[in-house]
Amino acid sequence: MLFPTTYKFTGRDFLRVQNCYFPSAWKEAEVIGIHKPGKPRDFPASYRPISLLSGLAKLFERVLKTRLSNHLFGKGLIIDEQFGFRPAHSCPQQVLRLVEYVSGV
């Protein structure tokens, strides 16, 4: 019966986050080492650290990001010149806009 337990846990914690409380367990990460190919296994520098985060924290962040983005874009609160963290807006596109602006095209 993992699902009912998980459902109760997430529901309770989503309400806590609504009150500006982010569960401390969601702030923790487990760090594991992934062996780099072609490196000797007996040296610590031969491993790349990878942090494993809480699945519930990642889920919550994705839901929050989606809802916040929809709200901001729906209300027109993001200007056209904002390219960071926007879908279909890349750094090369922004550089092209800058070059066009400077050259007067």
Q: What is the pLDDT of residues 68-80, one digit of tens each?
A: 888 988 898 988 8
Asked if 41 and 35 touch (Cβ cutoff 8 Å), the reply is yes
80 three-state secondary structure:
coil
pTM here is 0.59
Nearest CA to 82 among 66, 71, 93, 67?
A: 93
Boundaries of every domain in the chain? 2-74, 79-105
Summarised one tens digit per residue, pLDDT across range 2-39 is 444 454 555 666 666 677 777 788 889 999 999 999 99
What does the block give as tokens for 31?
Answer: 């760090």
Model pLDDT, residue 3: 47
- Residue range 85-102: average pLDDT? 87
Reported as a single tens digit per residue, the pLDDT across 42-92 is 999 999 999 999 888 888 888 888 888 889 888 989 888 888 878 888 888
Residue (of 67, 57, 71, 58) closest to 21 by Cα position: 57
